[in-house]
Amino acid sequence: MTAPSHTDRARSFDAAAAQYAANRPSYPPALFDAIEELAGRPLTGARVIDVGAGTGIATALLRARGADVLAVEPGDGMAAQFRDTNPDIPIVRGNGNALPVATASADFVTYAQAWHWTDPAHSAPEALRVLRPGGALALWWNTTPLDIPWHAEQAVRIERRFGAHPAVEQNGSGARAALTDPTGRLAFTACRVRWSRRVPIDTHLANIGSHSIFLVHGTEASTAFLTEEKQLLLTAFPDGIIEETYDVDLLVATTS
């Protein structure tokens, strides 16, 4: 089988937007504290462009922190789900490589699990164009901590079956993204925030099944894997509740 392309994976979310909205993890309050600290400015009252907003998980939290947020999302299915879930938050269609936003109009440009779908040769200068002086570009990813045995064991099983692990492949991708800053003007500061949530095993399985590596391999392959996975997890977690732990890798660069 030909390996799925980056573009196929970037577009795969649209077909699973409802599954994504219902099962993907959120982000902890400490992440938004860290963003404010590294940016040296509060989110309250700030104009924020949240790019690759998806179903709006991060967008809604930014808004709850008092930000004046505009969501930008390229995908039809994700944008439709966003509108259902967040009818009061404005969203425009577009992508990070050519932001449909005025020059010097934002205090923050944010990417929650989405920067890696852009081409930094375009998205980095675009973020710099849109930010006001003293603004901040913030990129973050929920990644899987491999020091936790059950996560590490599951990562091996996913990698063996699909050739990649959805959240493990993002471990370090923030650092790689920073290295690919072609403008040389993005001096990123990194920070990691660990958090966890307790969810039913079925939520956990629907969560991992909403990652692009599962979506592009098709329902049959994903269902077969997730069915086997459920049996293994029920042995390890007989009460059917699982604690998912995440390390949010955050990168923030401010503009002068």
- Take residue 109 and report the two structure tokens written for it: 């440009």
| Cβ atoms 94, 100 nearer than 8 A | yes
Contact window for ligand SAM (CB under 6 A) among 48-56, 174-182, 214-222, 231-239: 48-56
Nearest approach, Cβ of 169 to ligand SAM (angstroms)?
A: 12
Give the β-pairing of 131-143 and 241-254. antiparallel
Nearest approach, Cβ of 138 to ligand SAM (angstroms)?
A: 12
- The Cα 48–Cα 200 span in angstroms is 33
3-state secondary structure of 38: helix
| Cβ atoms 46, 67 nearer than 8 A | yes
Is residue 209 part of the contact set for ligand SAM (CB under 6 A)? no
| Angle at CA of residue 242, ends 236 and 247, nearest 5° | 115
Is residue 137 part of the contact set for ligand SAM (CB under 6 A)? no
Is residue 206 part of the contact set for ligand SAM (CB under 6 A)? no
Nearest approach, Cβ of 13 to ligand SAM (angstroms)?
A: 5
133 vs 195, which CB is nearer to ligand SAM?
195
- How many other CB atoms are there within 10 angstroms of residue 241's CB atom? 12
| Cβ atoms 111, 138 nearer than 8 A | yes
Is residue 177 part of the contact set for ligand SAM (CB under 6 A)? no
Non-local CB neighbours of 203 within 8 Å, separated by 6+ positions: 22, 23
Residues numbered 100 to 119 that lie near ligand SAM (CB under 6 A) are 112-114, 117-118
Is residue 13 part of the contact set for ligand SAM (CB under 6 A)? yes
105 vs 237, which CB is nearer to ligand SAM?
105
Nearest approach, Cβ of 11 to ligand SAM (angstroms)?
A: 7
12 vs 255, which CB is nearer to ligand SAM?
12
- How many other CB atoms are there within 10 angstroms of residue 85's CB atom? 17
Is residue 34 part of the contact set for ligand SAM (CB under 6 A)? no
Is residue 97 part of the contact set for ligand SAM (CB under 6 A)? yes
Is residue 86 part of the contact set for ligand SAM (CB under 6 A)? no
- The Cα 256–Cα 254 span in angstroms is 7
> What residues make contact with ligand SAM under the rule CB under 6 A?
10, 13, 24, 51-54, 57-58, 73-75, 78, 95-97, 112-114, 117-118
